[in-house]
Structure 1
Amino acid sequence: MKLKTQTFEIRSSPGSVGTVGFKEHSCEFFKRQYDKFKDKAPAFGVFFFMQTSLAITDPELIKEVFVRNFESFHERGFFINEQADPLSAHLFALGGQQWKELRAKLSPTFTSGRMKMMFPLVVKAADRMVEYLMPYADNIEELEVKEVYAEFTTEVISSVAFGLDIPCLGNPDSEFRKVSKTLFEPTKLENIKIMFIFAFPELAKGLNMRFIPKKSADFFMGVIRDTLEYREKNNVERNDFLQLLINIRDTEGMTFNEIAANSFIFFNAGFETSSSVMTFSTYELALNQDIQERLRTEINEVIAKNNGEITYESIMEMKYLDMVFNETLRKYPIVDIQIRKSVKDFAIPNTNLVIPANTGIMIPVYAIHHDEKYYENPDKFDPERFTEEIVRKQLPYTFIPFSEGPRQCIGLRFGTMQAKIGIVKLVKNFKILPCSKTLIPMKYNPPSGFMSPLGGMWLKFEKL
């Protein structure tokens, strides 16, 4: 028999694809529905942009989707139009054999050895961020820090992905920053177009519609083309992501469009996720001064043992930093819903239920991370949940900020490194404080494709 799912009319459409005209963020909608069904069924159904989808509540079924029966759920079901929108054909969106071959090519670019090569570029940008913040810290001014962190990560990604030394901090009108805003802060018209693409993907493809705005796509394609031409003409090599793609092109084969698309998704993912983790971690550190002080003590002790230097190895040595980082992702998973698509009928083990082919699969990460069955007092920020001893006892597939299985985020090492360097530099140099504009309790911006604070994140820095 087919799996019969109760459906819901989503009057306030989920925000995880940047929709318009709704009152709550997708994480809040799915948390409410998850709480209704988590003890009744392994999954519940929703209409998502006029398509039937299944939201999973059971960790064992999540394991089936992510790992055990990956061959049945290897697609994400995202819109791809390689002809009209070549940047859409990147690793995150592709499926099937195309994804498999591209993943095999790109995986070696994200080893710890490659991260060490990129490490100095990230530290350089983090030092500029500290320098930029110093005048605000002198006067202990209220500051909207999400934009600061976004400028920092944009600067890092433009350097590491594209090989460009572009000062974005304190320069929100830089071309890279303006283009990144068009991707993560779309207009109402763009949002309506995105809704149409999700609801009618085949029609949208037939109409040659683009998921990525043409102006943004032209900018990225032009940057890649100019940088490749410059490097080839001047015999320039650089320890960055673009150089790794050039090496793949020269040894295994990679088209210009593939280089451009995967540089684009590296920028897209690395920019927003890392800046958001920094936003929420510094928010919690400001509200929990004891945790902030303990983290600062660890940072200073580890740096002292390493001759006063921040190195790749010293960042990896900071265990409490890792606990703070993971608790931030537990409480504020940047991607609040993981997406998959069934490619064939799948019989759920130990039941007579079948998930039909072409069903959208949604993993409500935020809801699972806030389930009191797995995390006592889930609204409390408590890094002690991630001691080595407790992590060993953690029920698998109840902490999934980067997904799991073969489609786990390929760039998690880089994103983690970038965010941790930023946090270390901030905590080492400043006391982070709440201010009159700080959101207490937290409220999320409904249209945001990621979890984002409503009205930005306002904090104060005091120079140490």
Structure 2
Amino acid sequence: MIIILSVIIVLLLIYQYVWPKKKYWEGRGMPTYKIKMFLSMTNVVHEMGDVYKKMKVEGQRVAGLYLTWENILLFTDLRSLENCAIVQNKRYEDKRNAQQLFDVILNSATNLIVALQESSKSDKQIDFCDVSTRYSTEMMISLAFGNEFLKVTKLCSKIREMSLRAGAFSLKTVVKQFVIDWFPQFAKRFRMSAYDSTAHKFYMKTVQEAIEYRKQSTTLRHDFLQSLLDAENDDGEKTQMTIEEIAEQVMSFFVSGVETSAVTISYSLIEIKRNLNVESKLRGEVCTILEKYNYTLHYNALEEMIYLDAVIRESLRMYPPIPILRKKTSEAFLVDNIEIEKGTPLAVSILAIQRDAEKYIEPDVFNPDRLEGNIDLDIERQHLILQSKIALALILWNFDYEIDDKTKYPLKIDAPNGILIPTEKIWVKFSPLITSL
């Protein structure tokens, strides 16, 4: 009954407020494309990729796009989007330096190696996506709340479950997002969240417990939660965030972080093994550098692994965890003499761009050499690459492995919650190396 009532309300609101704006882009003289009413994020990803191809054929750099109730400005290149005055929902960055992050991530990666060593004793294949997601979840908990809180609470499996639930696509979340987008004051008054309500309650409780736990200790922490508690406004003055605001930020941190790290490691692992020349060159680099550092993975050793860096970046090119990048304008601006209003949603299909044959020779071929020495200054990607480099360096040093024939290739990928994941399991058999740490 609630679902039926929600559908009726949404249809009435669309008819009253949204339908009259369906000529929005035509009225501005902007080339226009449409995406069908979607039932999942997968449809949006595929259809936006098709629109990208049409725009390239028709010579359009930018175009208006209708997506349900949204009037989106779609670009065919990332630089044009980044050159616009843009702002996303307020997010707080993890202010720790790379060395501090390295120490936390290395601890979780060491636990991953122990788990793989145990699995190798049974001489059986394992679902590596499942294993890498457990590693990624543990690592994200440590980054968010600290290693000590992870040991005390043992929340790993529950946070993994709630992160998946929070990011899941459903009619209910669509309805809530519609209200948040079109009636922000109403949504704020009733404290509406676009995330699943059960997941939201869980993160509220977890954040409260984490804050109370650290009040009992005088230890200075450098984790994501502390950065939220110490948050400053644009004038550099400390601002007191509410528990609801902190919980939203923490939930976003896990939803965007757990799966992206896990799938990046999984995609990289399978492509390394499918390209024996890549595996040989990469193992040689890892072994040579670790020998130089007395067989210990230091931060400086990791920085010298240039080819490993290229391997992960090529994996991110072929399988971008976030296939569609979305932002909003912070002020009005002109595109081709057409005024774009403040607050207009902007988008670019990262997946379509990075599989574009005009931009990359043989885009469906895994070729890390094309990106060797390429430096990416994006902070979020730097964190993702750091997490993946640590895990892969330790795996390659400690194990040989085989991809089981049950794993189908080319990989079938999907984006049910907006993150590009394999639709089938990646079966891997690990064998310890004598030269392991």
TM-score using structure 1 length: 0.77
Deviation digits for residues 314-349 of structure 1 (CA, Å, limit 9, x no counterpart): 11110001110110111111111111233554322x
1:354–1:173 distance in 2 versus 1, CA, 3 Å: closer
- Structure 2 counterpart of 1:46, one-letter code: L
Alpha-carbon distance in structure 1 between the residues aligned to 2:210 and 2:155: 23
**What's the secondary structure of 1:152's corresponding residue?**
helix
Which entry has the higher C-alpha Rg, 1 or 2?
2
**What's the secondary structure of 2:431's corresponding residue?**
strand
Other-structure match for 2:82: 66
Other-structure match for 1:89: none
Alpha-carbon distance in structure 1 between the residues aligned to 2:155 and 2:216: 31
Q: Is residue 4 from structure 1 mapped to residue 20 from structure 2 by the alignment?
A: no
Q: Is residue 192 from structure 1 mapped to residue 168 from structure 2 by the alignment?
A: no
CA-CA distance at 1:123 after TM superposition: 1.3
Q: Which runs of 5+ in 1 are unaligned?
A: 16-23, 77-92, 393-401
Q: Which runs of 5+ in 2 are unaligned?
A: 1-26
Q: How does 1:372-391 map to 2 (within 5 A)?
A: 372-388=357-373, 391=374
Cα contact 1:144–1:458 (8 A) shared by 2: yes
TM-score using structure 2 length: 0.81
Cα contact 1:231–1:237 (8 A) shared by 2: no
**What's the secondary structure of 1:8's corresponding residue?**
strand
**What's the secondary structure of 1:150's corresponding residue?**
helix
Q: Is residue 233 from structure 1 mapped to residue 219 from structure 2 by the alignment?
A: no
Choose from 323, 338, 354 the match for 1:369.
354
Deviation digits for residues 90-139 of structure 1 (CA, Å, limit 9, x no counterpart): xxx22xxxx7xxx6xx47x14xxx33123222212111111111233234
CA-CA distance at 1:458 after TM superposition: 2.7
Deviation digits for residues 8-28 of structure 1 (CA, Å, limit 9, x no counterpart): 24255561xxxxxxxx55443
**What's the secondary structure of 1:141's corresponding residue?**
coil
Alpha-carbon distance in structure 2 between the residues aligned to 1:356 and 1:118: 39
Other-structure match for 1:304: 291
- Structure 1 counterpart of 2:48, one-letter code: F
1:357–1:236 distance in 2 versus 1, CA, 3 Å: closer
Q: How does 1:408-423 map to 2 (within 5 A)?
A: 410-423=379-392
Deviation digits for residues 284-330 of structure 1 (CA, Å, limit 9, x no counterpart): 11222221222111111111111111011111110001110110111
Query: What percentage of residue pairs aligned between the two structures are identical?
Result: 23
Q: How does 1:36-435 map to 2 (within 5 A)?
A: 36-39=54-57, 40-57=59-76, 59=77, 62-67=78-83, 69-70=84-85, 74-76=86-88, 93-94=89-90, 106=93, 109-110=95-96, 114-165=97-148, 166=150, 174-184=157-167, 186=168, 191-200=170-179, 201-203=181-183, 206=186, 208=190, 209-248=192-231, 252-257=238-243, 258-348=245-335, 351-388=336-373, 391=374, 410-435=379-404
Cα contact 1:130–1:425 (8 A) shared by 2: yes
CA RMSD of aligned residues (A): 3.0
Q: Is residue 442 from structure 1 mapped to residue 421 from structure 2 by the alignment?
A: no
Work out the number of aligned pairs and report it: 396
Other-structure match for 2:53: 35
Mean Cα deviation higher: 192-201 or 326-335: 192-201
Cα contact 2:283–2:397 (8 A) shared by 1: yes
Cα contact 2:37–2:68 (8 A) shared by 1: no
1:435–1:379 distance in 2 versus 1, CA, 3 Å: same
**What's the secondary structure of 1:7's corresponding residue?**
strand
CA-CA distance at 1:259 after TM superposition: 4.2
Cα contact 1:118–1:239 (8 A) shared by 2: no
Cα contact 2:87–2:329 (8 A) shared by 1: yes
CA-CA distance at 1:228 after TM superposition: 2.3
1:347–1:256 distance in 2 versus 1, CA, 3 Å: closer
Cα contact 2:411–2:422 (8 A) shared by 1: yes
Select the structure with the greater relative contact order (CA < 8 A; seq sep ≥ 6).
Answer: 1
**What's the secondary structure of 1:223's corresponding residue?**
helix
